[in-house]
Amino acid sequence: MGHGWEGVVLRLMRGKDFEFTVTGAEQVTERFHRVAFTDGGMLAATGTHPTMWVRVWFDNGDKPHQRAYTLVDPDPAAGTFSIEFALHEGRASDWARAARPGDTVVATVQGSAFTVPDPLPERLVVVGDAASVPAINSLLDAMPQVPAEIWLETRHASDHELPLRLTEGLHRLHPVPRREDGAHLVGEVRRALAGMAAEPAGAYFWIACDTATTRALTQLVRKELGRPKERVHALGYWRA
């Protein structure tokens, strides 16, 4: 299967392709599906970092189709990991629903980068949604002693059952229903963070929602709260 013009661009940017093989699958919630893989030698070649993601290619007739997914519990020694799919209409979700042991997909490693802040922040401020839950868990695992305030945008009742790795007394979760194409989430976060502008710059902000909401939240943190860019990591995970 060719990757079309996107594949050409990724190769020019030194993207590396690997073949993953399915070893198992499980339904986590009504709209959240986990598929386990062997990595085809990827982790030994690339190493790992928190929130690491890859571009997975799915057959879509004669038109290449790729989506980015965070690796869940990557184990370089065993060469294994999982991917959690937020299910909706689309080729990638259809593939995940039907995945069986022995099935294979090709993925490209290019563009993923994240370094744990040094020194560690006094606290994390995290804003995401169902698509970013695997990355949020990876972030919390990487900084297990850092308190976190987490705003999670929800679209379905089952989103309240998502497998967030929260530690009682250390992490606080604030579910926010998706309204007004994400503007409601931005407003809720703005009200909650209004008092943080006068506090010491000890927080680290990690934002991953749809592209437009992520952009609005980044402007809120950078311009309204005046936080420096090195204390903010933002990435639009999908387009509304």
In-domain check, residue 210:
yes
CA separation for the pair 215, 61 (Å, rounded): 33
Q: Which is nearest to 178 in space by CA: 210, 133, 136, 150?
A: 210
In-domain check, residue 116:
no
What is the structure's pLDDT at 232?
Answer: 93
What is the structure's pLDDT at 5?
Answer: 45
Question: Does residue 227 share a domain with residue 147?
Answer: yes
Residue 151's identity, in one-letter code, is W
Cβ-based neighbours of 8, under 8 Å, separated by 6 or more:
none
What is the structure's pLDDT at 4?
Answer: 54
Question: Does residue 146 share a domain with residue 212?
Answer: yes
CA separation for the pair 218, 233 (Å, rounded): 9
Question: Does residue 158 share a domain with residue 104?
Answer: no
Q: Which is nearest to 74 in space by CA: 45, 106, 117, 38?
A: 38
Specify whether the CB–CB gap between 155 and 86 falls below 8 A: no
Question: Does residue 230 share a domain with residue 127?
Answer: yes
What is the structure's pLDDT at 72?
Answer: 97
CB atoms within 10 A of CB 202: 12
Residue 171's identity, in one-letter code, is H
Question: Does residue 168 share a domain with residue 142?
Answer: yes
How many domains would you assign to the chain? 2
Q: Which domain holds residue 36?
A: 4-109
Residue 87's identity, in one-letter code, is L
Question: Does residue 104 share a domain with residue 132?
Answer: no
Q: What is the pTM of this model?
A: 0.89
Cβ-based neighbours of 178, under 8 Å, separated by 6 or more:
129, 153, 154, 155, 184, 185
Q: Which two tokens stand for residue 117?
A: 């802040």
CA separation for the pair 131, 175 (Å, rounded): 14
Helix, coil or strand: residue 21: strand
What is the structure's pLDDT at 1?
Answer: 46
Beta bridge partners of 154: 177
CA separation for the pair 135, 207 (Å, rounded): 10
In-domain check, residue 117:
no
Q: What is the pLDDT along the chain (240 residues), one digit of tens a residue?
A: 455 545 544 454 456 899 999 999 999 999 999 999 999 999 999 999 999 999 999 987 777 788 999 999 999 999 999 999 988 888 999 999 999 999 999 999 988 889 999 999 999 999 999 999 999 999 999 999 999 999 999 999 999 999 999 999 999 999 999 999 889 999 999 999 886 655 546 899 999 999 999 999 999 999 888 888 899 999 887 776
